[in-house]
Amino acid sequence: MQPKPVQQPAPYLSTTWRDTETSAVGHLVVHDLFRGVATGGLRMRPGCTLREVEDLAYAMSTKTAVFGLPAGGAKGGIDFDPKDTRSDGVLRRYLEAIRPFLEGTWVTAEDLGVSQQVLDATFGEIGLGESSYHAQIFRDADPAAALRRIRAAMAESNPDGLVCENIAGYGVAQAAAATMRALGFTTEPLSMAVQGFGTIGGSTALYAQQMGITVVAVSDLLGTVYHPDGLDIPALLATRNEYGEFDRAALPVGCELQPRDAVLGAPVDILVPAAISYALTGKNHSVVQARVVVEGANAAATREAELELAVRDIAVVPDFVANAGGVAWSWWVLLGQDEDVFGRLSHKMTEIVDRVLAPWLIDGTMPRRTGLELDTRH
């Protein structure tokens, strides 16, 4: 059966900002509102486009619907290099320009190129409280209590580090494991390749390894590292810098240094693109050798790539399912429902993965199409 493309509806609103002091261009897209609120992160990267932000806002809208979160979807994006020394000023002026949305509509958080610490500090500088969750905090019956919950959650840690930095990757790893179980790949050791070694990619690799999946390839901006017997993920994480790059000098003997995009064609069971959007396109999808693709990054595969992979019987678990752990966690905290978030996320992720893959197993219906029809909000 030839899979059909999914049509994306137009967003509720879209606005573009141009910086007066640099060449930076920023966008805010609110795909939809639910009870007057939309949620989604803010990213900064060179080349960020309005189309990219629209796609990401749509994905956020679908995440909140699928996971039953009381918000619509939105996304912010700034076309600027976060490594540029002027980036803090760019971020501040962007937030000042769209302040009305931050005050009452858009609940935002960290994303590619923008850390939560810097984002919260900038909110404070422009007089919007102490958290980028400002718009929802002040809807709470007790804003001070909501802020205390956020502070406590941001500081909470486990043996693997801060929960807020690891929970999204934990969800991706759970999605990968649930996918392989649903497809019947349970009788042999599983292997994984992870593109990107930042917050999501690094924690995905860590938790996948803890679950018994052999992570044989990871990449960062400097290239791909491959070892057929598996990599020591904790050791790599110990050398990782703030840009998700790890120290090659710390690699053990036997590791192969490969080009950055080689990770996409690694001979593995599970490919997790967890870096930039549109990593898999109509031009490079044919290199994929994995049995399944689990989107750790937002909009990791273009629609054309997803269709072509489906033709090859390679299931793609979409971003709005696989990497929803971060937004689910933040809203559970905001709502005071943050007990046993790891157990809750594991259960919820398995349930949703099973639902989106069931039609795929029957007649090849793409998981994205099935997922877009799920809405568990009340």
Comparing C-alpha atoms, which of 2, 63, 54, 1 is closest to residue 28? 54
The residue from 75, 83, 283, 348 that is catalytic is 75
Phi-psi region of 9 (alpha: psi -120 to 50; beta: other; left: phi over 0): beta
- Residue 16 contacts residue 26 (beta carbons within 8 Å): yes
Q: How many angstroms separate the CA atoms of 134 and 146, rounded?
A: 10
Sign of CA dihedral 192, 196, 198, 200: negative
What are the helix (H) ranges across the chain? 50-66, 87-97, 99-104, 116-125, 134-137, 143-155, 163-182, 199-210, 233-238, 303-311, 319-322, 325-334, 341-363, 367-372
CB–CB of 89/23 below 8 Å?
no
CB 64 within 8 A of CB 97: no
Question: Is 75 a catalytic site residue?
Answer: yes
The residues annotated with a catalytic role in the active site are: 75
